[in-house]
Structure 1
Amino acid sequence: MTLAHDVAGSGPTVLLLHSTACDRRMWDPQVPALVDAGCRVVRSDMRGYGDSPVPDGPYNNAEDVIELLDLLGAEEFALVGSSGGGRVALEIAARWPRRVTSLVLLCTALAGHEPSAELQAFGEREDALLEAGDVTGATDLNVDTLVGPHADQAAREQVREMQRHAFEVQLAAVEEFPQLRPEFDLADITAPTLVISGDHDLPDFRQIAVRLSKELADARHLQLDWAGHLPSLERPEVVNPLLLDFLRETHAGGGRGRQG
Structure 2
Amino acid sequence: MTISFGVAGVGPDVLLVHAGVADARMWEREVRELAAAHRVITVDLRGYGETPLEAGAKYSDAGDVLAVLDEVGASAVMAVGASYGGYVVQQMVSREPARFARVVLLCAPTDNVEPDDELRALWGAENKLLEAGDVDGATDLTVRRWIGPEADDEARELLRVMQKRAYDVQLAAGDDVENEEYPVEPEKMTMPVRLITGGHDFAFFTDSADYLAERLPAAERIHLPWAGHLPTLERPTEASALIR
Q: Could you state the TM-score of these two structures normalised by the residue count of structure 2?
A: 0.96
Cα deviation for residue 29 of structure 1 reads 1.4
- 2:110–2:184 Cα contact (<8 Å) kept: no
Alignment of 1:90-129 (within 5 A): 90-129=90-129
Bigger mean CA offset, 70-79 vs 127-136 = 70-79
Q: Give identity over the alignment, percent.
A: 43
Which stretches of structure 1, 4 residues or more, deviate above 6 A after TM superposition? Answer: none
CA shift digits 1:213-258 (9 cap, x unpaired): 11111001100011000001111110111111xxxxxxxxxxxxxx
3-state secondary structure, aligned to 1:29? helix
Q: Partner letter of residue 54 of structure 1?
A: L
Give SS of 1:48's match: coil
Which deviates the most, 177-186 or 206-215?
A: 177-186
Which runs of no fewer than 5 residues in structure 2 stay unpaired?
none
Which residue of structure 1 lines up, in the alignment, with residue 19 of structure 2? Answer: 19
Counterpart AA for 1:89: V
Q: Is the 8 A contact 1:2 1:64 kept in 2?
A: no
Report the residue type matching 1:160 in the other structure: R
Superposition RMSD on alpha carbons, in Å?
A: 1.2
Partner of 1:48: 47
Q: Counterpart of 1:219?
A: 219
Tell me, what secondary structure is at the counterpart of 1:191?
Answer: coil
Q: Which runs of 5+ in 1 are unaligned?
A: 245-260
Give CA-to-partner distance per residue, 1:130-159, whole Å, 9 cap, x none. Answer: 000010111111111111001100000000
- Count of matched residue pairs: 243
1:102-140 CA-to-partner distances (Å, cap 9, x unmatched) read 000000021343111111101111000000001011111
| Distance in 2 of aligned mates of 1:203 and 1:108 | 11
**8 A Cα contact 1:93 1:191, kept in partner:** no
Whether the 8 Å contact between 2:7 and 2:39 is mirrored in structure 1 is yes
| Contact 2:191–2:218 (Cα < 8 Å) also in 1 | yes
CA contact (8 A) 2:62 2:182 kept: no
Contact 1:87–1:108 under 8 Å retained in 2: yes
* 2:188 maps to 1:191: no
Matches within 5 A, 1:40-79: 40-55=39-54, 57-79=57-79
Contact 1:2/1:67 (CA < 8 Å) preserved in 2?
no
Of 168-177 and 233-242, the range deviating more from structure 2: 168-177
